[in-house]
Structure 1
Amino acid sequence: MTPSRTLATAGRVLLQIRNDPRTVALLLVVPSLLIGLVAWIFDETDVFDRIGPAMLALFPFIVMFLVTSIATLRERRSGTLERLLSMPLGRGDFILGYTVAFGLLAVLQTAIAVGFATVVCGLEIEESIVLLFVVAIADALLGTALGLLASAFARTEFQVVQFMPVLVFPQILLGGIFLPRDQLPDVLEVIGDWLPLSHAIDALTAVSTGSEDAAYIWLRVLVIGCWIVGAVIVGSLTLRRRTP
């Protein structure tokens, strides 16, 4: 992998996305709107204070997964990836370039979502807002990395959507949003404890409520980081030049 080629790939991706206003709106605006909708639904209760951190983990994660996976797959189906890889550009440069590009978008998306949730929706934060921002960025990057991984195996956009029941829905169901994981059946609790979105939800909840110390939160961020690195590596190793 060469830094100049990776950055050139990231720049090309960002330029393409800039020329697609609908994708920009989906990435930057939709997660905040969904968080606002949840806050509005529970406006007269304290429910949003309890589930707000989970929503801050959930919506950016899903949006980044969908946009990243479909955009990457489109490069392969259109033949762009095959042309790029015929040049001095490796699979690692391609995947890492996409990671950098969507990582930058994830930072911007997270800044908007965190600001909207705390300032507009009134989500109360007991710990540092900076720590909340760091965890939320890691969560959005997780969605990006898993999206890249899914795109390496999918052949069509429809198959990308089919990966959601495999990579996304179990994490939502077992992440502690609907029921605390310690109340799940033992096997499901163990599975849920290993899933990366569970760690993002735990960390964001801990930052919001102040129920855990900083070491606990940073450990969760480290676990998420390991998942991100692993997904990017596997995605780069399994990426095909084009879709048959």
Structure 2
Amino acid sequence: MTPLRTLATAGRVLAQIRHDPRTIALLLVVPSLLIGLVAWIFSDTTVFSTIGPAMLALFPFVVMFVVTSITTLRERRTGTLERMLSMPLGKADLILGYTLAFGLLAVLQSSIAVGLSVWVYGLEIEGSVWLLLSVAVADAVLGTTLGLLASAFARTEFQVVQFMPAFVFPQILLGGIFLPRDQLPAGLEEISDWLPLSHAIDALRAVATDSEDAAYVTAELLVIGAWIVAAVVIGSITLRRRTP
């Protein structure tokens, strides 16, 4: 693994995405529009102040998961990855390059989503906006790395979508969006503790309500970071040159 090869891979991915306006719109615009739609639905109530932080975690996470996994799989199916890996480029360089490229897009995506949520949609934040942005970025990067991991096991774009019930839906159901995690039935709360999206939602809510100190949020960020690293490592090990 060399930094120059990783940066070169990231640059190639960003150059490719730059020429795809639909992907750019999906990454940077759609999550903010969906959050705005939720805010509009509950505009006459205080509900958005309660669920807004969870929406900041949910929509960017899902969008990054889908786009990253499909993009990586498409390059493997077309033989691009096989040609790249035939050069002096390791699997770790490739995965880290993709993570870096989509991580930069995650920063833009989260900045837009947080900015609009706080200053346009009316999301009330009692804690630090910068800390909120940090958690939102980590959450989006998490979606990226899990998408890279999912693409290693899929053979078609349709199979990537099929993986969403296994990778994403349980995290949505048990993440505390519909019911506080401490009110989940016995056993489910313990399962939710192991799901990374739960920690992202908890951290965003803690910052929004200023109900926990910085040490708590930092601990949650460390958990999210551990999942990101694990997904990158496993994705590097399981990555195939092309789809059979």
Provide TM-score, normalisation by structure 1. Answer: 0.99
**Superposition pairs of residues 1-244 of structure 1, within 5 angstroms:** 1-244=1-244
Shift of residue 186, structure 1, vs aligned partner? 1.4
Shift of residue 182, structure 1, vs aligned partner? 1.0
Alignment-mate amino acid for residue 145 of structure 2:
A
Any unmatched runs of 5+ in structure 2?
none
RMSD between superposed Cα atoms in Å: 0.4
Q: Deviations over 1:60-116 (max 9, x none)?
A: 000000000000001100000000111101111110000000000000001000001
Q: Deviations over 1:104-145 (max 9, x none)?
A: 000000100000100110101111111001000000000000
Provide TM-score, normalisation by structure 2. Answer: 0.99
Query: 3-state DSSP class of the match of 1:186?
Result: coil
Shift of residue 34, structure 1, vs aligned partner? 0.2
Any unmatched runs of 5+ in structure 1?
none
Alignment-mate amino acid for residue 116 of structure 2:
F
Shift of residue 194, structure 1, vs aligned partner? 1.1
Query: 3-state DSSP class of the match of 1:194?
Result: coil
Residues matched between the structures, number: 244
Query: 3-state DSSP class of the match of 1:146?
Result: helix
Alignment-mate amino acid for residue 9 of structure 1:
T
Alignment-mate amino acid for residue 144 of structure 1:
T
Shift of residue 210, structure 1, vs aligned partner? 0.8
Shift of residue 196, structure 1, vs aligned partner? 0.3
